Amino acid sequence: MKNPMRTFRGVQLADLPQLEQFTEQERHEMRVVANLLPFRVNNYVLDELIDWSSAPDDPIFRMTFPAREMVPPRIYDLVSDALSNGVDRKQLHAIAQKCRQDLNPHPSGQREHNVPLLDGEPVAGLQHKYRHTLLVFPSQGQTCHSYCSYCFRWAQFVGDADLKFAAPGPGRMIDYLRGHREVTDVLLTGGDPLIMSTPVLARWVTPLLAPDLEHVTNIRIGTKAVVQWPYRVTSGPDADELLRLIEACAAAGKSVAIMLHVSHPRELESEAAAAAVARLRSAGAAVRAQAPIIRHVNDSPQAWATMWRHMVRLGIQPYYTFVERDTGASSFFEVPLARALTIYQQAQRAVSGLARTARGPVMSATPGKIAIDGETVVNGERLFVLRLLQARDDALAGTLFFARHSESAVWIDHLTPALSTSWPWESSRDRIQFEPIEGVSR
């Protein structure tokens, strides 16, 4: 590790010497948007990943630094005027908080449909959308080493308790799992669980090794630390302890999967990132990678083909190619579904079978994970072929269905059903609550 990690937030934008190449107006625009959407960057991203000679068009710069076009003009003007008029922090926060409600802070029914019940009460910091997988948001892991401007969980990081998912401790998670033996996978997510020290992470992981939770066979950790601060795994103060924790899980018969978020090939080209992946694999973890197709960052077949080749070379399995979700700065980063399909298909054709394991393009929408499998023509009409890879209503998983082709649609809500008058899930229950198995105490 060359230097200890230094992080910079929105209020510190003026302290970054790299931004001196921008005009005062451009820096003002960054400050405005940083008061609406979360901004955080560390010295590794600044020094090792961003090509400053290409900024602002550098893809890593685009996915890290705020830009005026990321928010609607009306919202931008409100916050810009407030900053220019010197309003106090409390008033500025109130204005920003109100504006964020127009940015769809919790897409795909995360708050309305995903939060499970225990003894009739919502369980803070848990989401149970798919039958076999429980998402857990440890309160200590609800930040990242560096933020992505396109993040669909941006609402976790703006300091608004009403928008944040956070579990205060593992107790309720364990109680819920004891009553839900259909759950085989626990996904620790955030934020980034690897922002936690290993002893804190262990407080969430070790209880999952208990004999009465033998139905939990897979422990997943969602992270971008490997490419944003690889020293967390290679040479940090408790990096070795992290590997011992993974080994302990394997010894207890659990599979550990590192669900890595990789947005651009450059993130995998450093020696530090490669070493981090190698160490995780040496401890017995499987490493999988996913990301959305992001305009200005990776919206080309070449970017994805190169990224997948890097992954296979390092022993990472390509997992998902997502569609940018309809939240936050999506209008700046989103790609039409038709173009996303073309990017995905052309990238797949450019790589060998080992690199063709990523499913996509996939919308993680309210009813489930919807893959665009391709296009077809029926009775002279051009259609999208869609499939529910995962479904809130498990009976719908695997269902094929069709939508009228569109060159401009960016989300399932913009499509129209074809060969049917409705979507498959419209006859399903509005809210799925997985029931505890009879005879199992909680």
Which residue in 2, 36, 30 sits closest to 15, CA to CA? 30
- What tokens appear for 413 in the block? 């809500």
pLDDT of residue 110: 65
Supply the range of the domain harboring residue 168: 107-427
Q: Is residue 436 part of a domain?
A: no
Is beta strand 317-323 parallel, antiparallel or unpaired with respect to 359-365? parallel
Q: What is the pTM of this model?
A: 0.93
pLDDT of residue 415: 98
Do 77 and 126 reside in the same domain of the chain? no
The whole-angstrom separation of Cα 402 and Cα 435 is: 31
pLDDT (tens digit per residue) in 230-268? 999 999 999 999 999 999 999 999 999 999 999 999 999
pLDDT bracket for residue 30 (50, 70, 90)? very high
Q: Is residue 414 part of a domain?
A: yes
CATH number of the structural domain spanning residue 302: 3.20.20.70
- For the chain, the average pLDDT equals 94
Q: How far is CA 190 from CA 147, 194, 213, 242, in A?
A: 12, 10, 23, 18
Do 98 and 114 reside in the same domain of the chain? no
Do 304 and 423 reside in the same domain of the chain? yes
Query: What kind and span of H or E run contains 275?
Result: helix 271-282
Task: Please give the tally of structural domains in the chain.
Answer: 2
Domain ends where: 51, 75, 103?
A: 103
3-state secondary structure of 309: helix
Do 55 and 89 reside in the same domain of the chain? yes
Give me the phi and psi of 162, to 5 degrees please: -70, -20
What's the mean pLDDT in 75-79? Answer: 96
Q: Is residue 437 part of a domain?
A: no
Cβ atoms within 10 Å, residue 11: 12
Q: Is residue 441 part of a domain?
A: no
Q: With 60 as the cut, is the pLDDT of residue 194 above it? A: yes
pLDDT (tens digit per residue) in 275-310? 999 999 999 999 999 999 999 999 999 999 999 999
The whole-angstrom separation of Cα 426 and Cα 260 is: 33
Residue 279 buriedness (CB in 10 A; 0-12 / 13-18 / 19+): buried
Q: Is residue 328 part of a domain?
A: yes
Q: Is residue 432 part of a domain?
A: no
* 326, 45, 262, 64: CA torsion to nearest 10: 10
Q: What is the CA radius of gyration of the chain?
A: 22
Do 88 and 170 reside in the same domain of the chain? no
Do 153 and 126 reside in the same domain of the chain? yes
Cβ atoms within 10 Å, residue 161: 6
Do 56 and 140 reside in the same domain of the chain? no
pLDDT of residue 157: 86
Do 245 and 332 reside in the same domain of the chain? yes
CA-based torsion, 233, 237, 240, 245: positive or negative: negative
Do 354 and 377 reside in the same domain of the chain? yes
Domain ends where: 57, 79, 103?
A: 103
Is beta strand 286-293 parallel, antiparallel or unpaired with respect to 381-391? unpaired
Percentage of the chain beyond pLDDT 90 is 89
Do 99 and 111 reside in the same domain of the chain? no
Domain ends where: 103, 120, 149?
A: 103
pLDDT (tens digit per residue) in 113-171? 889 999 999 999 999 999 999 999 999 999 999 999 999 988 888 877 777 889 999 99
Q: Looking at 11-20, 159-168, 385-394, 396-405, which range is the least confident one?
A: 159-168
- What tokens appear for 118 in the block? 């225990």
Q: Is residue 144 part of a domain?
A: yes
Listing DSSP states for 79-132 in one string gives HHHHHHTT--HHHHHHHHHHHHGGG-SSGGGTTTTS--EETTEE-TTEEEEETT
Do 194 and 265 reside in the same domain of the chain? yes
Percentage of the chain beyond pLDDT 70 is 95
Query: What kind and span of H or E run contains 64?
Result: helix 59-64
Longest CA pairwise span in the chain (Å):
66
Cis peptide preceding 72, ω within 30 of 0: no
List of residues 6+ apart from 237 with CB closer than 8 A: none
Do 298 and 423 reside in the same domain of the chain? yes
pLDDT bracket for residue 439 (50, 70, 90)? very low
